[in-house]
Structure 1
Amino acid sequence: MYRYDEFDAAFVAGRTEQFADQVKRRLSGEMTEEQFRPLRLMNGLYLQLHAYMLRIAVPYGTLSSRQLRKLAHIARTYDRGYGHFTTRQNIQFNWPRLSDVPAILKELASVEMHSIQTSGNCIRNVTTDQFAGAAADEIIDPRPVAEIIRQWSSLHPEFSYLPRKFKIAITGATHDRAAIRLHDIGLQAATNAAGEIGWEVWVGGGLGRTPMVAKLINSFVPNEHLLAYLESILRVYNRYGRRDNKFKARIKILVHEEGLESIKGQVEAEFAQIRGGVLTLPQEEVERITTYFAPPDFRNQSVTKLDIAYESILDPAYGRWLDNNLNAHKQPGYASVTVSLKPVGGAPGDATAEQMEVVADLAERYSYDELRVTHEQNLVLPHVALADLRTVYDALVAAGLAEGNVGTIADMICCPGLDYCALANARSIPLAQEISKAFSAPDRQKEIGELKIKISGCINACGHHHAGHIGILGVEKKGGELYQITLGGDATEQAAVGKIIGPGFEAEAVPAAIEKLVDTYIARRTEGESFIDAYRRLGDAPFKEALYGAA
């Protein structure tokens, strides 16, 4: 994985020192909260309902064991003993004292981490496929390009004060596990007629108040010109993006109102001017950064196949874990292991300091000192030998991290909601906890199959409810909390925005409503048909009738 060079180290150390002085002036009263706000946001520090919240960048979701241990230390020393992993592959601490934040940032800098550009109207943390560099279906490891984009976008002088925040996602596989079509810019690996690898560029996606699926603006941009093309898009957005209305300031609105062809023409005009200039990526520089992401020195394995059916007979819980939590690896004898952060009755995405240390130890011993954060709020050990799976599983059982529920109805995405967030209208975590209890039976989960539930506590959609097969949005109505249900959302290469199917429900009625939707699906599905495929075939009608009765 990438290591800081001298510039990175000096850059982060300098920013940490600057912010320490700013915090000192805020605490002494030399600076008001209004004056402090833009400075803290540049360093990922939010003021939420009850306390400050610090969001720490995990570029393209990749961590070392040393870094995760440091996060565990910060959770134990400066917070309340846990951290919350987010849909941008970052981690948030919800209870740091302002006076401790400079010390936290200094601790982070010691392991090549920071919180820069995790908030504000800038280019945010670049996200990617959690199995990058390991997945059997991968065309190319996207992380070297993600790192190049990180270096290009960090404190970019032209794009530090954009009309609104800007998010980029990238995947190197044919199957989109990074939700690229729901980002301001999405990049997907592609090959041209000559067999060269480049990138499809999608623009204008996003969730929030006005959810939209991105549009394909260019079907093939070579690696060497990718930065120039991205810069061209950002220039057009920075010039024409709405600054008079924050609700219409995202690039998705610009693309929608101006039209894709108009935006594409302006981007191509910019690209024609800067193509071939200083933004052209030298092949030797691409190769230099790529060496940081070279595959581990894999050892030949005697175990190259798993008999999951047999293991399920011997130990059903272990069999479920093997069946749901493994992803096919490009190296024979290995698998990528997803560590579920979705225990029954737990807060999705939360991990205690002790659990982080367990996962760090497992990564060091069994995954070549590497792990990942997923945008679905889980962790991944990307390179585990099949022969070591039982040992890893047993360690996860002891740590309370062995739920075999990845991809099932219990593997929910959930924002912090009204328990923490000042923007939220409703609670998200308690609802997720109740749904997980209602569907905790493993046999029920298996009967249902893949079904993605995503929950947001407000229209900002930090829980990606628009992209859930079943989405749940908390709204405020007459001083109370109500929950709207959407159906048909999808974050894959078949990206779609879910549709509200009727009036909202009180919190206590939501689990029963989900049961009705699931029962309707099971009663009407064809053999092997998933929930999302059944919904696309059947449409709204049977699900509406199940919830609200015949029209």
Structure 2
Amino acid sequence: MTTTPQRVRQSASGKSNGQWLVDGTAPLNPNEVFKAEENPLNVRRRIEEIYSRQGFDSIPHEDLFGRFRWLGIYTQRKQGVGGEHTGKWTDEELSDRYFMMRIRIDGGALTTEQLRVVAGISTDFARDTADISDRQNIQLHWVAIEDVPEIWRRLESVGLETTMACGDTPRGFLGSPVAGIAADEIIDPTPVIRQIVDRYIGDETVANLPRKFKTAITGHPSLDVVHEINDISLVGVVHPELGPGYDLWVGGALSTTPRLAERLGAFVREEDAAEVWYGVIQIFRDYGYRRLRNKARMKFLLAEWGPVKFREVLETEYLGRALPDGPAPAPAKTPGDHVGVHEQKDGRLYVGLAPTVGRASGTRLTALADLAEKAGSRRIRFTPHQKVVVLDVEPGAVEEFLAGTDEIGFTGRPSPFRRNTMACTGIEFCKLSFVNTKDTARETIAELEQRLAGVEIDTPITLNVNGCPNSCARIQVADIGLKGQLAKGADGGNEFAYQVHLGGGLASSDRDEPGLGRTLRGLKVTATDLPDYVERVVRGYLAERAEGETFSSWAHRADEEALR
């Protein structure tokens, strides 16, 4: 069981929210019970010694649907189970006998050797599946319990792991995809990410949090890690007296109760970053709400405390000193997805590629490693926008490289919608989803490329497709966000449909101010009608916008009927 400070305070309301330093550590729901029984990471030994040898039926419920997550493993959705059963059937009824496995790739950084190992695991053990997520990692499907130890052995042979890739833990860290190589970088976050990961990932003191904890660290002025929607973000800034360091943000997350993170106004020196990160995560561990799972994210604590109290508790109870005040990040002036060809500070090039909605395969990842090495590269990065950046490309090799990546569907010269569309896993594999996402998004992109081929779209318009309300694809901060739900078709049967959010965006997007999208209540757009709807809205924006007006500004001022 995780060790925590032994000081308990009286709750102001007299009702327990499960805050360890207010209410004590008695578990108040089944998830808290199994976490209190033992460090969930201990399940690894049982996987290796029992379950992988005795098979799927040997796995007890609390390991299968609980502790496995601490090692990046979830049961995937049973094939053919429709969206009408989502939220109604139990985990057991919805689950297949195969797993999704999430590979932890902090900062999205891989060598081509590591990429080949991941690709080989995909082809050997995951039916050639490999999705690039917007958390800069790879998700595999169709993984059998019998193969998990060998997958771990291969990953760990090249310095990769699945530890704390899921669960109530500090999940994989977002980091700037151009860390250490961009000419306009403020500060390289690589050393800080490495220090925190080496020190704390796998540490029992952060293995039992109230819920998941998401981290983002960047030193690039494009603000390329969506810092406003993470539990903690360190954003590169230059202090007028102390030089380069980080601005501290806390309390962001989306899902059914979206909330953007807030600045604490504190400047964090590079040498203090790991300690500050640990202080923030300890606040979440000790004061986060554990009674109700749907109120357990850190955004709810921040909403109650506010940034002033949060900073005071951090400084007085966890750091033992005050942090200096610091400046806010400047608005981004370049896209944060890094798609296209760009100069590195050493004269070589980095090339951002757009696989369609993050869908890849082991076969295609092997081909990407071949193409990268032929162009002189040994390093690739995934991005928080389901993209791939290949570093260190020799200038003379770039055209041949781009031609090769086009052939495998990783284009460096994508159409506007191929570049700016994201989609979550969807009903194909996810037990929480109501609808298909990846195929719907792919088909919509293809339609829009034809219909809008002669139309100049001179500003990014993001299209994010999500299968459920949990917003893994960040629907509330997209220009056009689509939340999956079922609708009744003309024949009385169920068909895939989407609720629409318009005009959201973050500081890294082409938006006046970060903010959530406008929900069009009562509007359901079916998958079949989706290309028609997006085309109509895009053409309306281009025809009606004022000079220099962003899509988000237009969407928030336009008459609602014009948006339907």
For Structure 1 versus Structure 2, the TM-score category normalised by the shorter chain is: 0.7 to 0.9
The residue type equivalent to 2:120 in the other structure is H
Quickly say closer, same or farther: Cα 1:260–1:489, change in 2 above 3 A.
same
Partner residue, 2:334? none
SS for the counterpart of 1:149 is helix
Partner residue, 1:433? 442
Q: Residues of 2 paired with 1:215 and 1:445: CA distance?
A: 38
1:26–1:36 contact (8 Å) kept in structure 2: no
Quickly say closer, same or farther: Cα 1:398–1:432, change in 2 above 3 A.
closer
SS for the counterpart of 1:472 is strand
Q: Residues of 2 paired with 1:376 and 1:543: CA distance?
A: 30
Deviation at 1:397, TM superposition (A): 3.2
The residue type equivalent to 2:67 in the other structure is L
Q: Which moved more, 1:470-479 or 1:243-252?
A: 470-479
For structure 2, list consecutive stretches of 5 or more residues without a partner in the other structure: 1-41, 79-97, 324-337, 489-493
Q: Residues of 1 paired with 2:151 and 2:349: CA distance?
A: 34
Query: Within 5 Å, which residues of 2 pair with 1:91-490?
Result: 91-273=138-320, 325-331=339-345, 333-342=347-356, 348-402=357-411, 404-405=413-414, 408=417, 410-441=419-450, 443-444=453-454, 446-447=456-457, 449-476=459-486, 481-490=496-505
SS for the counterpart of 1:75 is helix
Q: Residues of 2 paired with 1:15 and 1:406: CA distance?
A: 45
1:169–1:183 contact (8 Å) kept in structure 2: yes
Q: Residues of 2 paired with 1:18 and 1:444: CA distance?
A: 59
Q: Residues of 1 paired with 2:292 and 2:507: CA distance?
A: 30
Which TM-score applies when normalising by structure 1?
A: 0.81
CA RMSD in angstroms comes to: 2.6
Quickly say closer, same or farther: Cα 1:449–1:272, change in 2 above 3 A.
closer
Q: Residues of 2 paired with 1:520 and 1:183: CA distance?
A: 33
The residue type equivalent to 2:425 in the other structure is P
Of the three residues 518, 542, 551, the one matched with 1:522 is 542
Partner residue, 2:3? none
2:520 aligned with 1:501, yes or no? Answer: yes
Deviation at 1:504, TM superposition (A): 2.1
2:342–2:351 contact (8 Å) kept in structure 1: no
Q: Deviations over 1:360-391 (max 9, x none)?
A: 12322325300011111121112223321111
Q: Deviations over 1:16-60 (max 9, x none)?
A: 666311423662755423344333212111012123111111111
For structure 1, list consecutive stretches of 5 or more residues without a partner in the other structure: 1-13, 277-323, 343-347
Deviation at 1:485, TM superposition (A): 1.1
Q: Deviations over 1:372-431 (max 9, x none)?
A: 111111211122233211111222233343362176465311001111100112221232
Partner residue, 1:293? none
The residue type equivalent to 2:252 in the other structure is G
Which TM-score applies when normalising by structure 2?
A: 0.80
Deviation at 1:232, TM superposition (A): 2.0
The residue type equivalent to 2:103 in the other structure is I
SS for the counterpart of 1:371 is strand
Q: Residues of 1 paired with 2:54 and 2:209: CA distance?
A: 26
2:175–2:217 contact (8 Å) kept in structure 1: yes
Q: Residues of 2 paired with 1:402 and 1:225: CA distance?
A: 39
Q: Deviations over 1:230-285 (max 9, x none)?
A: 22222222122111111111111110122222222211212443789xxxxxxxxx
Partner residue, 1:510? 530
1:355–1:399 contact (8 Å) kept in structure 2: yes
Partner residue, 2:552? 535
Deviation at 1:336, TM superposition (A): 1.5
Partner residue, 2:491? none
Determine what percentage of the aligned residue pairs are the same residue.
Answer: 27
Quickly say closer, same or farther: Cα 1:446–1:83, change in 2 above 3 A.
farther
Q: Residues of 2 paired with 1:384 and 1:488: CA distance?
A: 36
Q: Residues of 1 paired with 2:406 and 2:284: CA distance?
A: 48
Quickly say closer, same or farther: Cα 1:198–1:165, change in 2 above 3 A.
same
Q: Residues of 1 paired with 2:188 and 2:154: CA distance?
A: 30
Partner residue, 1:48? 76
Deviation at 1:91, TM superposition (A): 0.5
1:225–1:275 contact (8 Å) kept in structure 2: no
2:502–2:555 contact (8 Å) kept in structure 1: no
Deviation at 1:181, TM superposition (A): 1.2
Q: Residues of 1 paired with 2:415 and 2:107: CA distance?
A: 20
The residue type equivalent to 2:389 in the other structure is V
Q: Residues of 2 paired with 1:367 and 1:186: CA distance?
A: 33
Q: Residues of 2 paired with 1:195 and 1:267: CA distance?
A: 21
The residue type equivalent to 2:469 in the other structure is I
SS for the counterpart of 1:136 is coil
